[in-house]
């Protein structure tokens, strides 16, 4: 992080400017640098930087913490406040930090007094810093500067290690695509503990030298109002957030000053996104990316709607995305295959036992993403779902993404998710969770009537439909498919929520 922090520091020396606007108000670059200097000394007294686990909330503290780590050439690992004790313990084991910065209640919940029993410094206006006295070695991260936690298939969080070159490339590509200029304000409404939110929130704003506009928790009305009042030019979010802001705007065009809103990380329907962008008065861009290869596709704001909202962009310059058929051949346009990516934003590896574990790449350097990809003649791509996003009913594989896309085209459906429910005879059956636009109920007959009208094979129709207030979400606002399966199972069996 040293390069972008040095540039930020140089701009602040020439003239102070507002660098963060959050729930506490405005914070200037010089104020944040002063806080960063005090924090750096608490973490690394009189010496070079090390590896820091930082509770990354959506406030000025995350920016000040980033500056502190960058000033000393350290490595930053971002952690969500809602990380459980078990999740934190696993991440701590993999990262083995030299310091941990968090609010006192989080430190206690995570067991830090036992893990780091030494002195405790008060930092960042009421937070705590616990540091180890021993030598610090950042070279163990092989050039990595940021570690973000992402859920693994086993449930254990994986620490994704990214280099500053990767962060800079992803942000520079995003700035160019969206026509952003130095000093422009950008908003971060997704939790900054997400690797993508941190990259395209904190790092991108440092690179632009403009305000980072934050809300401490998701509130659609507050986010809409704050972005309009602070003249935000760009933000990224998950589809649910974009749709909820569109409903809140009620056709007012409240975000007409925003050049574009980038959306990714969940099921997306062209019709629903089109209604949201018309209501907001801006352009919405569907993208594809992942923690392991940050934001590597995007359309442009001036692309036609069918490209911006009906597909998932085109690869950033220098990034190569391909689809492979079952026999390993590269699939041509119009053929769905297993997605693989290679490019400048590809991660260094995973954090394991305090060091980098290199990723498993193909012989020619591609990373398998686990997605199903279809390429088009014009170079744009469409993500057709996850390789494992299937329900096996009576031996027949059913693609849940295909069902979700068909259901999402029904005007009364705001959001929908397909989930498997267990069945003694068939193994699995298809359930549908639906959030309606009007808040009124929806039944199976209404849904299957629509699916019949759009030509979806009857073999793929859901057998159960449940009207819900909201779909389960992860800590960063993405669709929680595991939670959706659990909810569908409870609704099917009539089991009460254990919470």
Q: What is the 3-state secondary structure (H, E, C) of 282-309?
A: CCEEECCCECCECCCEECCCCCCHHHHC
pLDDT of residue 385: 76
> In the chain, which residues have pLDDT < 50?
152-154, 499
Spelled out in words, what is the top-level CATH class assigned to the domain 390-493?
Answer: alpha beta
pLDDT of residue 267: 65
With 0-12 / 13-18 / 19 or more C-beta atoms within 10 angstroms meaning exposed / middle / buried, residue 155 is exposed
Q: Same fold for the domain at 2-14+22-163 and the one at 166-344+364-386?
A: yes
312-370 per-position pLDDT tens digit: 999 999 999 999 988 889 999 999 999 999 999 999 999 999 999 999 999 999 999 98
Task: Please provide the CATH number assigned to the domain covering 166-344+364-386.
Answer: 3.40.50.12780
With CA atoms as reference, report the closest residue to 116 among 130, 97, 126, 136: 130
State the pTM of this model.
0.84
Domain 2-14+22-163, CATH 2.60.40.10 — does that match? no
For the chain, give every domain's residue range.
2-14+22-163, 166-344+364-386, 390-493
Q: Phi and psi dihedrals of 437, rounded to 5? A: -65, -40
pLDDT of residue 154: 43
pLDDT of residue 397: 72
């Amino acid at each position: 992080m040293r390069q972008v922090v040095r540039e930020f520091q140089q701009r602040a020396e020439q003239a102070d400017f507002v660098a963060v606007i959050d729930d506490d108000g405005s914070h200037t670059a010089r104020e944040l640098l002063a806080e960063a200097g005090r924090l750096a000394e608490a973490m690394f007294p009189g010496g070079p930087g090390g590896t820091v686990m930082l509770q990354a909330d959506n406030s000025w503290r995350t920016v000040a913490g980033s500056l502190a780590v960058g000033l000393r050439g350290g490595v930053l690992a971002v952690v969500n406040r809602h990380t459980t004790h078990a999740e934190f313990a696993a991440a701590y084991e993999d990262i083995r930090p030299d310091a941990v910065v968090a609010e006192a209640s989080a430190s206690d919940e995570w067991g830090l007094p036992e893990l780091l029993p030494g002195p405790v410094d008060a930092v960042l206006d009421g937070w705590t810093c616990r540091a180890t006295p021993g030598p610090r070695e950042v070279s163990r991260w092989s050039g990595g500067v940021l570690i973000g936690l992402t859920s693994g298939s086993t449930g254990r969080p994986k620490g994704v290690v990214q280099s500053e070159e990767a962060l800079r490339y992803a942000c520079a590509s995003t700035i160019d695509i969206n026509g952003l200029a130095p000093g422009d304000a950008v908003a971060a409404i997704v939790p900054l503990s997400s690797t993508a939110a941190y990259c395209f929130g904190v790092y991108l704003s440092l690179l632009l030298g403009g305000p980072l506009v934050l809300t401490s928790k998701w509130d659609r009305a507050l986010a809409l109002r704050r972005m309009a009042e602070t003249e935000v030019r760009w933000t990224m979010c998950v589809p649910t957030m974009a749709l909820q802001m569109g409903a809140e705007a009620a056709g007012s065009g409240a975000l007409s000053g925003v050049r574009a809103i980038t959306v990714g990380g969940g099921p997306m329907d062209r019709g629903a996104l089109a209604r949201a962008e018309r209501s907001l008065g801006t352009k919405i861009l569907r993208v594809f990316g992942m923690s392991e290869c940050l934001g590597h596709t995007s359309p442009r704001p001036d692309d036609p709607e069918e490209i911006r909202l009906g597909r998932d962009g085109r690869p950033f310059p220098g990034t190569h995305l391909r689809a492979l058929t079952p026999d390993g051949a590269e699939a041509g346009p119009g053929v769905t295959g297993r997605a693989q990516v290679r490019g400048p934003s590809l991660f260094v590896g995973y954090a394991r036992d305090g060091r980098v574990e290199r990723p498993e790449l193909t012989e020619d350097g591609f990373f398998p993403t686990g997605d199903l990809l279809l390429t088009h003649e014009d170079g744009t791509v469409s993500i057709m779902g996850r390789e494992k996003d299937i329900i096996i009913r009576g031996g027949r594989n059913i693609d849940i993404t295909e069902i979700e896309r068909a259901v999402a085209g029904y005007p009364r459906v705001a959001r929908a998710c397909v989930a498997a429910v267990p069945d003694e005879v068939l193994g699995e059956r298809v359930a549908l969770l639906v959030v309606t636009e009007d808040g009124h109920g929806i039944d199976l007959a209404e849904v299957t009537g629509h699916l019949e009208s759009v030509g979806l094979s009857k073999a793929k129709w859901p057998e159960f439909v449940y009207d819900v207030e909201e779909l389960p979400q992860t800590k960063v606002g993405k669709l929680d498919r595991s939670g959706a399966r659990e909810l569908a199972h409870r609704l099917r069996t009539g089991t009460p929520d254990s919470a």
